[in-house]
């Protein structure tokens, strides 16, 4: 067993070196995450395949209802009350004056999309956390926003800040009492989410804050299982250095060590397939 773990660690180091070399050779920026309208199927997709690389702006375009001339006039000359939908949209867009007016007029900082179809039960705090608008987060929290308010996926603002990759937002929420170990519908912690979406700085911060590094999700996967399955080599190394259990079994009976060993099998099979002459297939014995 110790030999298997050692071999797995060696393979991780090899993969990490290959990834860093590839990083030096590649130009271009990874597209931002398309997550604003996530529901349970998308949460499952993120767990098993990582974040979707569609343009975030395209998805947010669905969330941000097209402004009418009345909406624009209200924003410009501050006429009339701010509607809840406009307030929630302002949290996404980072428009502090609209947030301030809504709250000054007596609006609840925990207003969510209960009257909007589809309903995600997401507050301005969730939306601002995804975007990293720390000034708006501060204003909402100062106005009494519930820091651990859960949306329809049982995600809190910390889950969304981790998903968006905003360490400053995570720290602010933490300073205001956010629970870093709360779980969503998949029983995923913020550490799971940061791992799946590839935000190494947030993973490191959460570990140093003492979160449960071996906490299992609904399928029994720890953050190390997720990092291994998604080939997040730097995060794998970080988790192992801080005591993640390489022999923890998920509900399928698989350990992170076994998943690392599967890399070798998959690589070998891919090479064998590539080396086969075109049109030639193996005939079962």
- All residues at 6 or more sequence positions from 246 whose CB lies less than 8 Å from its CB, including other chains: 5, 8, 9, 224, 240, 255, 256, 257
Which homologous superfamily is 82-212 in?
A: Ankyrin repeat-containing domain (1.25.40.20)
What pLDDT, on a 0 to 100 scale, did the predictor assign at position 194?
A: 98
The Cα 274–Cα 272 span in angstroms is 5
Torsions phi, psi for 106 (to 5 deg) = 95, 10
Neighbour-count burial for 139-167, b at 16+ CB within 10 Å, e otherwise: bbbebebebebbbbbbbbbbbbbbbbbbb
Lookup: tokens for 82: 């701010």
Give how far the C-alpha of residue 145 lies from the chain's centroid of Cα atoms, to the nearest Å.
Answer: 22
Cα distance between residue 198 and residue 158, in whole Å: 15
CB atoms within 10 A of CB 41: 8
Whole-number pLDDT of residue 268? 57
Residue 28, by phi and psi: left (phi above 0), alpha (psi -120 to 50) or beta?
Answer: left
The pLDDT assigned to 58 comes to 40
Give this prediction's pTM: 0.78
| pLDDT at site 219 | 96
Domain ranges within the chain, ordered by starting residue: 82-212
Please, what's the largest Cα pairwise distance for the chain?
78
CB-side neighbour CA atoms (13 Å) of 110: 9
Q: Is the peptide bond before 118 cis (omega within 30 degrees of 0)?
A: yes
For residues 230, 236, 239 and 244, what is the CA-based torsion angle, rounded to 10 degrees? 80
pLDDT tens, residue order, the chain (285 aa): 666 777 777 777 777 777 666 655 444 434 334 445 677 788 888 888 788 654 444 434 444 444 444 554 455 445 689 999 999 999 999 999 999 999 999 999 999 987 665 689 999 999 999 999 999 999 999 999 999 999 999 999 999 999 999 999 999 999 999 999 999 999 999 999 999 999 999 999 999 999 999 999 999 999 999 999 998 999 999 999 999 999 999 999 999 999 888 876 765 566 566 555 555 544 443
């Amino acid at each position: 067993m110790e030999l298997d773990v050692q071999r797995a660690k060696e393979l991780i180091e090899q993969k990490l070196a290959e990834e860093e070399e590839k990083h030096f050779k590649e130009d271009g920026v990874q597209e931002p995450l398309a997550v604003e309208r996530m529901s349970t199927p998308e949460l499952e997709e993120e767990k098993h395949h990582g974040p979707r690389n569609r343009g975030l702006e395209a998805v947010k375009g669905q969330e941000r209802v097209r402004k009418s001339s009345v909406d624009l006039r209200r924003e410009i000359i501050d006429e009339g009350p701010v509607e809840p939908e406009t307030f929630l949209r302002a949290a996404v867009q980072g428009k502090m004056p609209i947030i301030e007016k809504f709250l000054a007029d007596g609006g609840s900082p925990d207003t969510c999309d209960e009257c909007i179809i589809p309903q995600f039960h997401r507050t301005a705090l969730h939306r601002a956390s995804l975007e990293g608008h720390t000034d708006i987060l501060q204003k909402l929290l100062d106005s009494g926003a519930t820091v651990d308010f859960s949306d329809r996926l049982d995600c809190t603002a910390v889950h969304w800040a981790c998903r968006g990759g905003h360490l400053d937002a995570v720290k602010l929420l933490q300073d205001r009492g956010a629970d870093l170990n709360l779980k969503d519908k998949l029983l995923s912690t913020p550490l799971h989410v940061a791992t799946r979406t590839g935000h190494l700085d947030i993973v490191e911060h959460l570990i140093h804050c003492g979160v449960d590094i071996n906490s299992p999700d609904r399928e029994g996967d720890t953050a190390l299982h997720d990092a291994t399955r998604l080939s997040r080599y730097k995060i794998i190394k970080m988790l192992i250095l801080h005591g993640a259990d390489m022999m923890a079994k998920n509900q399928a009976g698989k350990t992170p060590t076994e998943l690392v060993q599967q890399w070798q099998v998959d690589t070998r099979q891919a090479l064998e397939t590539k080396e086969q002459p075109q049109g030639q297939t193996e005939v079962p014995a």
